[in-house]
Amino acid sequence: MTVQPKKLLAIYGASGCGRSVMPVAATMLLSEDRDRCELLFIDDGRRDPIVNGRRVVTYAEFLREPAGSRQICIAIADSKVRARLAARCEQDGIASFGVVATNAVVMDEVEIGAGSILSPFVTIASNVRIGRCFHGNLYSYVEHDCVVGDFVTFAPGVKCNGNVHIGDFAYLGAGCVIKQGRPGAPLVIGEGAIVGMGAVVTKDVPAGATVVGNPARVS
């Protein structure tokens, strides 16, 4: 009997973000494949060999592990670090996998880029396009006809209403509310912008700006 090489799957990052993503990934990926897969953490600054019952290895060790195939999901909140690690994985031929909670809701005509994470109770409404390595944290939503760039982070409870365009690397803080745009005239949050916790965004946010308050203003 030939033993098939195992499939090695890793959550990159064993800090708070990664530890929250791990059980979601385990439920999604290992329910029917437990004997042929191993799901572990990658953390280059690791201290403990085991975190929450999962092995922790460095990226270099992950590359040396015997495996039939390898895939990584990057669970690190800093979008620029996510992008750098994604580029390294791509250069090394390591494929990305996404993590979607079983109770996340994804409606019609939705595109979600590789390596994205939808945490429990996230909703993505119809006709939405989302880029690579998106993080949608607990109870956040993206309403209809939105376009979200690469490496965007939604903290828990973000309310992004319809016809909003969000640039690459934007960060939306916990509980913020983004006013709905209009067809042909979307509300725009620029590349690298930061929306503060609880902010209420009623107009465009310039690229690289930080906005706070209700209504949100550049800080």
The catalytic residue positions are 144
Contact 115, 86 (CB under 8 A): yes
**Interatomic CA distance for residues 124 and 206, integer angstroms:** 24
Contact 204, 189 (CB under 8 A): yes
Residue type, 211: V
**Interatomic CA distance for residues 219 and 210, integer angstroms:** 6
Contact 67, 7 (CB under 8 A): yes
**Interatomic CA distance for residues 170 and 209, integer angstroms:** 10
Residue with tokens 């994604």: 86
CA distances from 187 to 142, 145, 174, 184, 202 (A): 13, 11, 19, 10, 8
Residue 23, preceding bond cis, omega within 30 degrees?
no
Got the DSSP string for 29-55? HHTTTTTTEEEEEE-TT---SEETTEE
